[in-house]
Amino acid sequence: MEDLFSLAMLYSTIRLSTPLLLAALGGMFSERSGVINIALEGLMLAGAFTAATVTHFSGSPWIGLLAAIAAGLAVASIHAIATIHFHADHVVTGTAINILFLGVPALLSGAFFDSTGATPQIPQQNLLPLAPVILAFLFVPLAWWILSRSRFGLRLRAVGENPEAADTAGISVRRLRWAGVLISGALAGIAGAYLSLGQSSLFTRNMTAGRGFIALAALIFGKWRPVQTMLACLLFGFAEAVAIQMQGVAPLPVQFIQMIPYVLTIVVLAGFIGLARAPKALGIPYEKEAG
Amino acid sequence: MKILRPLAMPLAAIAAAFILGAVVVLMIGDDPIETYALLIGSALSWPDGIGYTLFYATPLIFTGLAVALALHAGLLNIGAEGQLYMGAFAAAWVGITFAGWPGWALIPAAMIASMFAGGLWGAIPGYLKARFGAHEVINTIMLNFIAVALTNYFVQYHYREPGDAIMQTREIGEGAHITRLGEFIPGLPTRIPLSIAFFLALLACAAVWVFLRKTRWGYEIRATGANPAAAEYGGIRTGRQIILAMTLSGALAGMVGIGEVLGYRYRFYDGFSPGYGFTAIAVALLGRRHPVGVLLAALLFGALIRGGLFVDIFTEKVSKDLVLVLQAIIILFVACGSAFRFPFGKRARGKI
Amino acid sequence: MLELREISRRFGSVLANDAVTLTIRPGAIHAIVGENGAGKSTAMRIAYGFYRPDSGTIAVDGQPVDFRSPHDAIAAGIGMVHQHFMLVENMTVTENIILGAEPGGIAVGFRSAEERIRKLSADFGLAIDPQALIEDLSVGQQQRVELLKALYRDAAILILDEPTAVLTPQEVDELFAILSSMRERGKSIVMITHKLSEVLAISDEVTVMRDGKVVGHRLTSETSAAELARLMVGREVLLRVEKGDAHPAAVVLSVRDLRVRAGGTERLRGASLEVKAGEIVGIAGVEGNGQTELIEAIAGLTPRGAVSGSIELDGVDIARLTPRQRRELGMTHVPEDRHRRGLLLDFDLEENSILGVQTSPELNRGGIFLDGDAVRRRAEAIIRDFDVRPPVPELPARSLSGGNQQKLVIGRELEGGPKVLLVSQPTRGVDIGAIEFIHRKLIEMRDAGCAILLVSAELEEVTSLSDRLLVIREGEIVGEVDPRTTPVATLGLMMTSRGRASA
């Protein structure tokens, strides 16, 4: 039991919460601007696959990382166009993107590597075990600063709370929402890259295993605020670390440990643990009043 | 001609998907025409093509109806996957626990159990939404994961055949086996797992249609989804309707277990669903929430699953994941199509 | 100085502004008054750059200007405070004020902004804490934030749209003190309002609009509430409806000390009234004075905790009953917003015709199945008796014109002869032919013994239909008058001024 609080567990927790944190922070920008981002899962998969593939071909994980960001931006654009310009339902679009990236990596890996979804193993020296972790935790104070102290952040928040007020003040609701969605794409791309280049050394089919949704849950649990979201991600990361630790040694069946983040989320949403107040205009398409 | 108008958008979405899919196939390095020929041909051959197409369509009909019904109430049920797992496990549990019972008692008992378990799994997010305003999308997704973990636990620790390495339960009793259609359709071999569950699915289509159009509850559910303020004015308790809709939705999804457990593997097999609950969203949207539309869309996607397997085996580069891509494109097009602005945003939103 | 010259603007078939000409002088408070739909808001929205006029010109300080958007107007020194505040609730006062005009570069210069806000605050007597969150402020304080928004952008001309609509009397006094101080400092202030007592209290000049035209301009010191009311409301009321005398029988609906709380304030403050079988009791009043709350409370649509007081139907206390139960006892309701409350727009006429009665035994077989034939018969009866066109039950309600939609709703509620009918804004958005029809039907129902409570913002309608007329203002019933003999000016006064008038 004391193992639970050892240094190894701490490392584990930090490593496991990194992809969650990156994705959640990205999701935060999107949702604070009013666009629900259920597609974090798909975005992460896109990033993970791209990172692994490009690293394999280029030999450099940094190029792979950049490619992952590019992939995240590209996929996020689909979400942005559908929701901001076509006023498609945010959740339905996000779900479509998730399904898309269950399929696309497998198709492409079949073409490139003749495999059923996995990319070839990447040699040790081409991995990125540390950089994304540092990036993630450094981004927390940066995100806080952007949201509360910068002009961009002020306007982004306004757009997510009361787009009409922002519009009246001369702010482009569309542009800011695009920015929010693109940021979420970039960060989720990095999160995915970490999965395939940092936590493991290749891409396997559906390797995110729901992390995109857990990141969303952490975001809600963290009340859409940077520091609290980070704490929530650490909590979920810890739960995962415990689960891994306990496999085989379990007094409690591992499945019940696995369930913890999900049950936690449900409880939070029901309002038992404080009131999770979403950005007011979240999910509501903004149509400019015709003058 | 009047029939064509509601078909226009779904057809456009399908066409767009196939065209974009062809581009993807080209990029991968295979011949799109060849690929599509294989896809469609293998789905329509007799007996295997049509047999398997209908077999895969069956769970899609159930889950498609589930999602469609929830949509009528203004709810997005992403939890069909979890609901069908609970339903399937419940059916297996009845089949195992009461293995000695005769068929005429065991089969209905298993069916009811699957509906009950699925319904319960749907009622939970329904209640949370009605009572706390908690958005059903996140809650159903969470419950999907919980269902998978829960059934996994039961299989691993309680219901596995000792010594079996595969994550599956013991076999259900003989009495719980339902008839495969091969037994009375000439030319259809019984190795194809298409069972009377298919007819049950057709029945479910009819039942849902009658329920929505012809009963007072269906009317009240639809009114709640269309305009909660007016529904309230009309004396309808919108909270109750939400719970009712989610429960029925879950029960329908749970019925997948009937075909899967009682008609195919005769046990609960961990991870048996190739994402039926998610494909259901595409099915419900493409079918425009109408039971007949759902049926047609389910047949289409059933064919794609079947064809996808063939494409997987018999082409150089393309895999069955092409089907997932087609699915996603269809959903995107339908979501963007002007006929489909769901008023999800306009109603009092839960927190998501 | 702001001038509007011959401004005209049409919306669809409605001429909202018809050659409107106004001059707003610096250092003065100029009130623009008129009833709902008179065109006041439209004219000011054009001045603010929201809309472009179809014809006419705007001039600022003598120079003609063309505003393509509110930006241009703001740049020209015009600021607008809307009736519904444009504020982000969970941001601070400072953040709201500077939104869109933030000092500094990438990082916002909060400190300098706060300083500037504090100075403006002090100069104009607008006491506010720059670090407070909007959601923690009272309505009066929120309005001050809106004023500061305009002042922060150096507005010389301030347009306020119904500024006192949501304020308590005390907050109104505070606002007037602020406006006076702005006037001292040379600002021009335009106040759109329908409250004559306030016009008289604070303004220097007043322009009256009616039906899109300017019908009068006076110096406030040279006019009176009575004159303004007469100009606002216009011609004498003609009794268009053929109406025999009412023969009221026993009291059917009795309401005592009904109070409704919403959003932290009391919207309905102890209303009491009675309606007898066979009479129409009308409630006249400018919208937003508690009528909606009154009707919804009687109909049972207000959340339990927000209502207090007694409501009796035929002597039975119904205050705790659900809307469905009240309907079963014979009370029906034509809501004021048929799109929001009254219809399921994407459903067909048949399905709309049973909204509210879908649980009744006549329409149900075994309590589960809807009797398709009975539903169809009912729909057809309503369509026939209430002249709904086109008479095709399969059409979606959305495809009907406003008048026909309204006839459908009214028909649905009247079919079956209710004991009590609550009807709100029965002819809003309805064409002339349908208006006549609806009025006739209401009289018919009255003569058949129905007790009708009628709310309408159309004075002509409510005076011609009612047998007894109550006036509501600021959540209270301020008096009862005889609709046949009371002059319109008196009614206007009761509806809008602070003093109580006797019948």
Reported as a pLDDT band with limits 50, 70 and 90, residue B4 is: low
Reported as a pLDDT band with limits 50, 70 and 90, residue A160 is: very high
- Shortest alpha-carbon distance between residue B86 and chain C (Å): 29
Record the tokens describing residue B166, joined without a space.
């595969």
Instruction: Summarize pLDDT for B214-272 with one digit per residue, the tens.
Output: 999 999 999 999 999 899 999 899 999 999 999 999 999 999 999 999 999 999 998 89
* Locus of tokens 């425009």: B288
CB–CB of A161 and C99 under 8 A? no
Are both C153 and C217 inside the same structural domain? yes
Are both C200 and C347 inside the same structural domain? no
CB–CB of C100 and A161 under 8 A? no
- Shortest alpha-carbon distance between residue C423 and chain B (Å): 13
Are both C411 and C423 inside the same structural domain? no
pLDDT of residue B167: 87
pLDDT of residue C241: 65
CB–CB of B223 and C335 under 8 A? no
pLDDT of residue B342: 42
Per DSSP, the three-state class of C258 is strand
Closest CA to A183 of A235, A143, A150, A124: A143
- Nearest Cβ partner for B345 among A98, A276, A284: A284
- Rounded to an integer, the average pLDDT of A188-205 is 91
- Shortest alpha-carbon distance between residue C42 and chain A (Å): 11
- Rounded to an integer, the average pLDDT of B293-316 is 89
Instruction: Summarize pLDDT for A118-141 with one digit per residue, the tens.
Output: 888 888 777 888 888 999 999 999
Across all residues in chain A, what is the average pLDDT? 86
CB–CB of C324 and B235 under 8 A? yes
- Residues from chain A contacting residue B321 (CB–CB below 8 Å): 102-104, 106-107, 110, 117
In whole angstroms, what is the distance from residue C23 CA to residue C59 CA? Answer: 9
Q: Do the domain assignments include residue A205? A: yes
Instruction: Summarize pLDDT for B102-141 with one digit per residue, the tens.
Output: 889 999 999 999 999 999 999 999 999 998 887 788 789 8
pLDDT of residue A126: 76
In whole angstroms, what is the distance from residue A41 CA to residue A20 CA? Answer: 10
For Cα atoms C92, C147, C90, give the angle at the middle one, nearest 5 degrees. Answer: 20
> For the stretch B237-247, what's the b/e string if a residue is b when 16 or more beta carbons lie within 10 angstroms of its beta carbon?
bbeebbbbbbb
Residue C224 CA, chain-centre distance (Å), reads 24
Query: Which one has a higher pLDDT value, C387 or B6?
Result: C387
- The CA–CA distances, whole Å, from B264 to B50, B162, B196, C70, C102 equal 16, 22, 11, 67, 66
Mutate to test the interface with C, among A152, A162, A275 (most CBs of C within 10 A): A162
In whole angstroms, what is the distance from residue A23 CA to residue A219 CA? Answer: 9
* Highest mean pLDDT: which range of A20-24, A81-85, A233-237: A20-24
- Nearest Cβ partner for B233 among C342, C346, C347: C342
> Scanning every residue of chain B, which has its alpha carbon at the shortest distance from the alpha carbon of A92?
B335
Q: What is the largest CA-CA distance in chain B?
A: 62
Mutate to test the interface with B, among C296, C298, C359, C371 (most CBs of B within 10 A): C359
CB–CB of B335 and A210 under 8 A? no
- Nearest Cβ partner for C95 among A154, A168, A291: A154
Instruction: State which of C205, C233, C261 marks the end of a domain.
Output: C233
- Rounded to an integer, the average pLDDT of B24-47 is 86
CB–CB of B324 and A99 under 8 A? yes
Residue B350 has pLDDT above 90, yes or no: no
- Residues from chain A contacting residue C90 (CB–CB below 8 Å): 161, 277, 280
C139 touching B (Cβ < 8 Å): no
Out of A137-141, A167-171, B291-295, C356-360, least confident range: A167-171
- Residues from chain C contacting residue A165 (CB–CB below 8 Å): 86-88, 96, 99
CB–CB of A168 and C86 under 8 A? yes
In whole angstroms, what is the distance from residue C303 CA to residue B46 CA? Answer: 61
- The CA–CA distances, whole Å, from A225 to A29, A161, A230 equal 10, 14, 9
CA dihedral sign of residues A54, A56, A58, A62: positive
Q: Angle, nearest 10°, between helix axes A7-32 and A131-149?
A: 40
Are both C39 and C129 inside the same structural domain? yes
The ipTM estimated for the assembled molecules is 0.84
pLDDT of residue C41: 81
Q: Are A155 and A177 in contact (CB under 8 A)?
A: no
C12 touching A (Cβ < 8 Å): no
Q: Which chains touch A (3 or more CB pairs under 8 A)?
A: B, C
C336 touching B (Cβ < 8 Å): no
Mutate to test the interface with C, among B2, B217, B227, B342 (most CBs of C within 10 A): B227
* Locus of tokens 């949207």: B285
Q: Are strands C213-219 and C205-210 parallel, antiparallel or unpaired?
A: antiparallel
For residue A131, give its domain range: 2-269
- Residues from chain A contacting residue B24 (CB–CB below 8 Å): 104, 107
CB–CB of A255 and B153 under 8 A? yes
- Residues from chain A contacting residue B281 (CB–CB below 8 Å): 92, 95
* Locus of tokens 């609960």: B268
CB–CB of B351 and A91 under 8 A? no
- Nearest Cβ partner for B234 among C346, C355, C368: C355
Q: Are C212 and C54 in contact (CB under 8 A)?
A: no
In whole angstroms, what is the distance from residue C464 CA to residue C242 CA? Answer: 9
Residue B343 has pLDDT above 70, yes or no: no
Query: Which one has a higher pLDDT value, B121 or A202?
Result: B121
For residue C392, give its domain range: 340-417
Residues of A with CB under 8 A from a CB of C: 149-152, 154-155, 157-158, 161-162, 164-166, 168-171, 277, 280, 291
Residue A20 has pLDDT above 70, yes or no: yes
- Residues from chain B contacting residue A86 (CB–CB below 8 Å): 335-336
Residue A24 has pLDDT above 90, yes or no: yes
Domain count, chain C: 3
pLDDT of residue A276: 57
Are both C397 and C488 inside the same structural domain? no
CB–CB of B223 and C355 under 8 A? yes
Rounded to two decimals, the pTM is: 0.81
pLDDT of residue B352: 31
pLDDT of residue A291: 27
CB–CB of C370 and B215 under 8 A? yes
Q: Are A188 and A23 in contact (CB under 8 A)?
A: yes
Query: Which one has a higher pLDDT value, A21 or B179?
Result: A21
Q: Which chains touch B (3 or more CB pairs under 8 A)?
A: A, C
Reported as a pLDDT band with limits 50, 70 and 90, residue B2 is: low
Instruction: Summarize pLDDT for A230-264 with one digit per residue, the tens.
Output: 999 998 888 888 777 776 676 777 788 778 778 87
B233 touching C (Cβ < 8 Å): yes
- Residues from chain A contacting residue B141 (CB–CB below 8 Å): 213
- Shortest alpha-carbon distance between residue C88 and chain A (Å): 6
- Nearest Cβ partner for C355 among B215, B217, B230: B230
Q: Do the domain assignments include residue C335? A: no
pLDDT of residue C238: 40
Are both C146 and C240 inside the same structural domain? no
Are both C128 and C197 inside the same structural domain? yes
DSSP symbol at C2: E
- Shortest alpha-carbon distance between residue A30 and chain C (Å): 18
Q: Do the domain assignments include residue C195? A: yes
pLDDT of residue C501: 41
CB–CB of C327 and B235 under 8 A? yes
Reported as a pLDDT band with limits 50, 70 and 90, residue A14 is: very high
CB–CB of A151 and C104 under 8 A? yes
- Shortest alpha-carbon distance between residue C115 and chain A (Å): 17
> Scanning every residue of chain B, which has its alpha carbon at the shortest distance from the alpha carbon of A253?
B153
- Residues from chain C contacting residue B231 (CB–CB below 8 Å): 344
Across all residues in chain B, what is the average pLDDT? 88
| Other CB atoms within 10 A of residue C84 CB | 10
Residue A192 has pLDDT above 60, yes or no: yes
Q: Are strands C280-284 and C451-456 parallel, antiparallel or unpaired?
A: parallel
Domain count, chain A: 1
Class of domain B12-340 (CATH, top level)? mainly alpha
- Nearest Cβ partner for C358 among B220, B229, B232: B220
Q: How would you classify residue A270: left for phi > 0, otherwise alpha for psi between -120 and 50, otherwise beta?
A: alpha
Where chain C has pLDDT below 70, the residues are 36-37, 168-169, 234-241, 432, 497-503
Instruction: Summarize pLDDT for C141-154 with one digit per residue, the tens.
Output: 899 999 999 999 98
In whole angstroms, what is the distance from residue B106 CA to residue A225 CA? Answer: 53
pLDDT of residue A250: 63
CB–CB of A169 and C51 under 8 A? no
CATH code of the domain in which A50 resides: 1.10.3470
What residues 120-139 of chain B have any CB closer than 8 A to a CB of chain C? Answer: none
Share of chain B above pLDDT 70, in %: 94
Mutate to test the interface with A, among C86, C111, C153 (most CBs of A within 10 A): C86
CATH code of the domain in which C229 resides: 3.40.50.300
Report how many helices (DSSP H) and strands (DSSP E) chain A contains, helices first.
Answer: 11, 0
Record the tokens describing residue B340, joined without a space.
């489909």
CB–CB of B149 and A88 under 8 A? no
Instruction: Summarize pLDDT for B156-187 with one digit per residue, the tens.
Output: 888 888 888 888 888 888 888 888 888 888 88
